Structure formats: structure tokens, C-alpha cells
Amino acid sequence: MSLLARKEEVEARVAAACKRSGRDENEIKIIAVTKYVSLETTKSVLDKGLLHIGENRWQDVKPKWEALHERGTWHFIGHLQTNKVKDIIGKFAYIHSLDRMSLARELDKQAAALGIEVNCFLQVNVSGEESKYGVAPEHFFDFAVEVSKLKHIHITGLMTMAPYEMAADATRPVFRGLRELRDRLNERKIFPHDITELSMGMSGDFEVAIEEGATWIRLGTVLVGKEG
């Protein structure tokens, strides 16, 4: 299947999920996850009008970013090591994986040095899987309070990942749990602005994520395809 055909199929599935759940399609933003494909394929993705690009390792994305960064909006979606912050700060419009205070402090420090504010999603391990990164739900509000004290971090939303091996519909409680955490966060007014965004849903479960409130979905194979 061609990239254009995959894009059209994904858009149709997004529209159907929105119709089922009474949502507006314009609320859903698609991140094309290009971490497994070449610079040439990433260029093709941008050529097709998919302008949000997701990557998770600076050493892999560096040649793509250097060649193409002015053409799209770049999202860092993988686990971020504190010592790699200096490589990515100022290059990615959004960081989806803020999950601990050591990382928050380093992001704040590096952003302050550049005189910028960095848009971040708080990553929550809603499923409780040991293999997943993210703050535990029971520690989430304390974490949010500490992050709210940092002047150069702007919290855009929350992010989670459902278990890969789980059937799509079985992921529903994970996505619903993240939405409920966001709503409780807004009730507590920990941040001076409402948190509206939910980054959740990947190739195998994005329709369920949309039905449960996702605003950003991160799609690799189902949209971009696979090489090698």
C-alpha cells in the first residue's frame, strides 16, 4: 500500500472513530512516527502534508532534522535521558515524555539558557507496566505541583502508552484513566492554564484512544509503513 493510500485509510478511520464518539475531527492531530524509516521516506511523509513528525532518539533523527526541520513540527516522543537534553532542546516543538524531576530541572535549565519555553507532556504510566516509563498515577499530582514551579516549562498535556500486546478495546481503561487524570488536574488548578491535550494512541489502538479523548495520536507502521 502506498503512503497516500495509508494516509487516506487512517483519515477515514479517524473520521469513523470521531463519528462514533461524537467528536470533531479537527480535534485530532496526527503525528507521523518516522523513527524506523529513512530520510527519503520522512521527506515523502512531509510531501504528503503530514507535518507533525515524531522521533525518539537524537542520534537517529539528527540527519533528518538537519535536512528537513524547517518543513514540519517535530515531536520528541521517546524516553529522554537527562544528558541528551542539550542535544534536543530548542529543536523539538514538543516533548511528550517528561516523567521525572531530574529531567524537568534539566529541561528548565537548558531552556532558560536559550531564553525559551519548552512545551512538554507529562508522561503517566497508567497501565502500571514495569517496562513502561512514566510517573505512577499515585505520584502524579505531587509531580505536577513540582513541575509547575519551573518557569521555562509549559505543560501542554498528558501522555501515556497502552500495553502493546493488549487487544485494542482492552486498552480503553488506560486511555480513560489518562483523560480522568487530566480532568482532575484541571479541577485542582495546579497550572495557571487548562491542560487540554492528550497524547495517546498508536497504530494498534488509536481508534479507541480517540473515543476516549485523545487529541494527538502517534502513528508509525499503520501510516508511515516499515522499511527493511
Kindly report, residue by residue over 137-188, the tens digit of the pLDDT.
999 999 999 999 999 999 999 999 998 877 878 899 999 999 999 999 999 9
Q: What is the pLDDT of residue 228?
A: 57
Q: Is 18 helix (H, G, I), strand (E, B) or coil?
A: helix
Helix, strand counts (H, E) of the chain? 9, 8
Q: Which cell is 218 given?
A: 502517534
pLDDT of residue 168: 79
**What residue has cell string 512545551?**
119
Nine-digit cell string for 152: 521555562
